[in-house]
Structure 1
Amino acid sequence: MQEDAYARILANPRFLELTSKRSRFAWLLSAIMLVVFYGYVLVVAFRPDLLATKLYDGATLSVGVPIGAAIIVLAWLLTTLYVARANTEFERLNQQIIEELK
């Protein structure tokens, strides 16, 4: 019984659409995060003077600190974006697949 249900799910065009969309979106968000993070690491490795620049004359805080904090915030935003899409579009497709199995 369950094997039949699995076969029907795997053959369902909506399931293929769901897995395709979810995979593309996850890879896109991952690529954005990797480019930003490793870009920052490369700047730290090869041009640390850029990040060591003070925010303003007499400041003790360098440019690198807010940029690092922005990278952390970007990770939260990308996670929030994924969760929002998962709870709307991906969940809608998931419910349609479940309804078709009944």
Structure 2
Amino acid sequence: MQDPIYARIQSNPRFQELVGKRERFAWLLSAVMLGLYLAFILLIAFEPQVLGTRISPDSTTTWGIPIGVGLILAAFVLTGIYVYRANGEFDELNAAILDEVKK
């Protein structure tokens, strides 16, 4: 049996707004990350010599290392962006919804 408060939350228009915003934002960040991974895979497939090129003539490090590390860091940055927005805007909407429903 479902608690009536859950039904009130689900029928609240602000809850629908929250769900929509959160889903769109998550899909946007997912698409950005997918695009970065796709670009990396396409680089490996069609221009692998770029990743094997040394950063400078006397360096032992190739461009593959900073590009790979950048891809990993991009995942952390996008996660941080989501957490920042979730702890700000999404939590505020959530609190407002709960205040409305409890009345």
Instruction: Report the TM-score, using the length of structure 2 for normalisation.
Output: 0.93
Gaps of 5+ in 2: none
**Counterpart residue number, 2:4:** 4
Aligned counterparts of 1:87 and 1:59: Cα–Cα separation in 2: 43
Aligned counterparts of 1:43 and 1:77: Cα–Cα separation in 2: 22
Gaps of 5+ in 1: none
Identity %: 50
Moved over 6 A (4+): none
Are positions 1:30 and 2:30 aligned together? yes
One-letter identity of the residue aligned with 1:31: A
Indicate the RMSD between aligned Cα atoms, in angstroms. Answer: 1.3
Give the count of matched residue pairs: 102
**Deviation of the 1:41 alpha carbon:** 1.3
Q: Where do residues 46-65 of structure 1 align in structure 2 (5 Å cutoff)?
A: 46-65=46-65
**Counterpart residue number, 1:44:** 44
**Deviation of the 1:50 alpha carbon:** 1.3
